[in-house]
Amino acid sequence: MFLLIGIIIGLVLGLTGSGGSVFAVPLLVLLAGVSMHQAVGLSLAAVAASALFGTLRLRSKQPVLWLPAMLLGVSGMVAAPAGQWAATRLPEVVLLVLFAVIAILIAWRMWLSASRQPEQAAITRASDLRETTSNGVLCRLSPTGQFQLKPRCMGGLLVGGLGIGLLSGLLGVGGGFVIVPLLLFLSQVTMQQAVGTSLVVISVISTTGFISYLLFNQPIEDVLSYTHMAYLIAGGIAGMFLGQILTKKIADDRLQKGFAIALLLTALTLLTTRLFME
Q: What is the pLDDT of residues 181-202, one digit of tens each?
A: 888 777 767 777 888 888 889 9
Angle between helices 191-216 and 176-186 (to 10 degrees): 140
- Three-state SS at 125: coil
User: Smallest Cα–Cα separation from 188: which of 122, 144, 129, 124?
Assistant: 144
Task: Give the distance, in angstroms, between the CA of residue 30 and the centroid of all CA atoms in the same chain.
Answer: 19
- Three-state SS at 17: coil
CB-count burial class (<10 Å; 0-12, 13-18, 19+) for 142: exposed
Contact in structure between 123 and 248 (CB atoms under 8 Å): no
Please state, in angstroms and rounded to a whole number, the distance separating the CA atoms of residues 173 and 103. Answer: 10
Contact in structure between 202 and 47 (CB atoms under 8 Å): yes
- CB half-sphere exposure, 232, CA atoms < 13 A: 23
Please state, in angstroms and rounded to a whole number, the distance separating the CA atoms of residues 106 and 99. Answer: 10
Q: What pLDDT shows up at residue 186?
A: 73
Please state, in angstroms and rounded to a whole number, the distance separating the CA atoms of residues 46 and 96. Answer: 19
- How far from each other are the two terminal CA atoms of the chain, in whole angstroms? 23
Cβ-Cβ contacts under 8 Å for 79 (sequence gap 6 or more)? 161, 162, 163, 164, 165, 166, 169
Q: How many residues are there in the chain?
A: 278
Low-confidence ranges of the chain (pLDDT < 50): 132-137
Q: What pLDDT shows up at residue 82?
A: 93
- Is the backbone of residue 81 left (phi > 0), alpha (psi -120 to 50) or beta? alpha
- Three-state SS at 187: strand
Q: What pLDDT shows up at residue 135?
A: 47
Q: What pLDDT shows up at residue 255?
A: 85
Q: What pLDDT shows up at residue 137?
A: 43
Q: What pLDDT shows up at residue 144?
A: 57
219-243 tens-digit pLDDT: 655 555 778 888 999 998 998 888 8
